[in-house]
Structure 1
Amino acid sequence: MKLIAIDLDGTLLSSQLEISDVNRNALLKAQEEHHVMICSGRAPEDIQAVLKEFNLQCDLAGSNGTVVYSKGKLLSRVSISESAVKESAALLDKKNVPYKLYTSEGIYVLNSWAERTTAALESLDGKHSISEAEYKRITEQPKADGAVKLFDSVEELLNKEGLSIQKFFILTLDQALKEELLPALESIDGIAPTSSGPNNLEIMNPDGHKGQGLQIMASHLGIKMEDTVAIGDNFNDVPMMEAAGLSIAMGNADPDVKKLCDRETLTNNQDGVAHAITHYIMG
């Protein structure tokens, strides 16, 4: 195997959002013989911040594979059409659903994020498993900084010259609402919904997914797809697992995801990535 694609949340990152020394050392060891890329639903800027924190350097496919970078060079960017952006946003705004936009100019968060998340949680009337700390984090209004910007409506972003939108990250705290939104989003031309966790939906261009991100990187490096590996835990990882020569599910992966994979490793809190590299790749 020559190219290893690794997801972040629920995979390389522990529940405390850390890369353990065991995983880091295994990744560095793998890089001596293999090309390693991070393939995550996170925005490229967020991925880079995580890698920098743990003193790692990897190529990446961010925003669920819609944006691909190798050695800092942009290889590909797949965006959502203007009409699909407008229709998707209109649906979410009508339902007062909180969402973020991953764009070519960073992450844009609604000015009404705190208002919408608070309303969503209050509608559950305490019937949720969110801790007090998590409740506070979710309902806190993000502040504008270098990577995060605020907006009121998609219209103002679509009017920005050169800006394109790669992904909607939709917070769905109410499972009944999530089940209602999914078919409605699937009916919109030009988008493909997926999920990276129980409390979210993510929508991209149908041609923008982790499988495409892996294929673009493999083609750039001159590596055959049968010589690639994908390691992940959730439904947004499925396209790269289906595309890779070898697919490895985390021990904490969704059971339906596990069924699709060739191998299963330990959980993200048991250094599952290191175990996969040692036993299924390097070995």
Structure 2
Amino acid sequence: MQYDLVISDLDGTLLRDDKTISQRNKDAIRRFEAAGGRFSFATGRGVEASQRYFRDLQVKTPLVLLNGSLLYDPVTDRDLFVQPLASDAVAGVWPLLEEAGLHILVHNTRRATVRQMTAVIEEHLQHDGITVDVQPDLSPATAGTVMKILTIGEPEQLDQVAEAIVGAHLPVKLVRSSPKYLEVLPPAGGKGAGVTALLKYLGIPRERSLAIGDYLNDLDLLVTAGLGVAVANAHPGLKAVARRETLSNMEDGVAAVLEALLEGREVGRPIQ
């Protein structure tokens, strides 16, 4: 096959809108692995929010989690690559997030912590199928090792705080994982950094990797891989950097890519 590693985003890409993985996708992944390929996924989710999927798929290849801040081995439950935020970056960005009135979730390698529960946070937890720790004195001084900070707000709020963070020249990277989610990562973070660490760990050349995604936090994922593929439902900004387009997440676009690789066909269609 042309590609040894296929790495897919989860939400909006491998997952259907009801957050399930279709049988066609499961079958295609198993066939690809049986033929000698490696399959993994890269997601903003952490270990807890991802485990139902890697257990269901019986994934044996390390996973890129927390938008690239963590490379995790699901077989041994080991962290292979950990890239936390610097304490001064957390301290610098924190007041800007609070002043904007955003809902804040602080992620370490295994759990997320909030200062207080809100209806917005509860909705997010149901979406991801996780629980969080509640720590009323949560602050940069008490947060411990921070892998990423997820903030939730209206798009206009997120635009304004992103502009303020950029203007303050803080050592962080910002990614949008949905219209209402802004995530604060280490400056060298992102899914692309996680994929680079994964390729090095597996000993697979970049040109032998293929990535599939749907949203703006997948930009460096697609750029880093040897071939970047967007699902049909992808954000226009992601399609601008992808080289091929597959079917939508509701039409089993990941399976369509894997089936094409197994059958020696072109993947999807070129993006003009």
- Find the partner of 1:63 among 62, 66, 74: 66
Counterparts of 1:25 and 1:19 in 2: how far apart (Å)?
10
**Shift of the alpha carbon at 1:45?**
2.1
Gaps (5+ residues) in structure 2? 265-272
Counterparts of 2:57 and 2:209 in 1: how far apart (Å)?
24
Counterparts of 2:190 and 2:66 in 1: how far apart (Å)?
8
Q: Tell me the equivalent position of 1:95.
A: 100
**Shift of the alpha carbon at 1:95?**
2.3
Task: Quickly say closer, same or farther: Cα 1:282–1:168, change in 2 above 3 A.
Answer: farther
Q: Tell me the equivalent position of 2:269.
A: none
**Shift of the alpha carbon at 1:77?**
0.6
Task: Quickly say closer, same or farther: Cα 1:17–1:225, change in 2 above 3 A.
Answer: same
CA contact (8 A) 2:114 2:135 kept: yes
Task: Quickly say closer, same or farther: Cα 1:154–1:282, change in 2 above 3 A.
Answer: farther
Deviations 1:117-173 (A, max 9, x none): 49xxxxxxxxxxxxxxxxx83599x99x8x521123443x7447xx4111111112x
Counterparts of 1:92 and 1:113 in 2: how far apart (Å)?
16
Q: Tell me the equivalent position of 1:250.
A: 231
Counterparts of 1:105 and 1:233 in 2: how far apart (Å)?
25
Counterparts of 2:83 and 2:95 in 1: how far apart (Å)?
21
Are 2:175 and 1:206 aligned?
no
- Find the partner of 2:136 among 152, 160, 169: 152
**Shift of the alpha carbon at 1:226?**
0.7
Counterparts of 2:198 and 2:82 in 1: how far apart (Å)?
12
Q: Tell me the equivalent position of 2:29.
A: 27
**Shift of the alpha carbon at 1:246?**
0.7
Q: Tell me the equivalent position of 2:243.
A: 262
**Shift of the alpha carbon at 1:102?**
1.3
Counterparts of 2:233 and 2:255 in 1: how far apart (Å)?
15
* TM-score of the two chains, using structure 2 as the length reference: 0.86
**Shift of the alpha carbon at 1:212?**
0.9
* 1:154-193 equivalences in 2 (<5 Å): 154-155=138-139, 158-159=141-142, 163-172=144-153, 174-186=154-166, 187-193=168-174
* TM-score of the two chains, using structure 1 as the length reference: 0.83
Percent of aligned positions that are identical: 26
Gaps (5+ residues) in structure 1? 119-135
Counterparts of 2:262 and 2:228 in 1: how far apart (Å)?
11
Q: Tell me the equivalent position of 2:253.
A: 272
Q: Report SS of the residue matched to 2:95.
A: helix
Q: Report SS of the residue matched to 2:177.
A: coil
**Shift of the alpha carbon at 1:43?**
0.9
Name the stretch that deviates more: 234-243 or 55-64. 55-64
**Shift of the alpha carbon at 1:89?**
1.9
Q: Tell me the equivalent position of 2:39.
A: 36
- Find the partner of 1:10 among 3, 9, 12: 12
CA RMSD of aligned residues (A): 2.4
Counterparts of 1:282 and 1:246 in 2: how far apart (Å)?
17
Task: Quickly say closer, same or farther: Cα 1:109–1:50, change in 2 above 3 A.
Answer: farther
Partner amino acid for 1:7?
A: D
Task: Quickly say closer, same or farther: Cα 1:231–1:153, change in 2 above 3 A.
Answer: farther
Name the stretch that deviates more: 22-31 or 98-107. 98-107
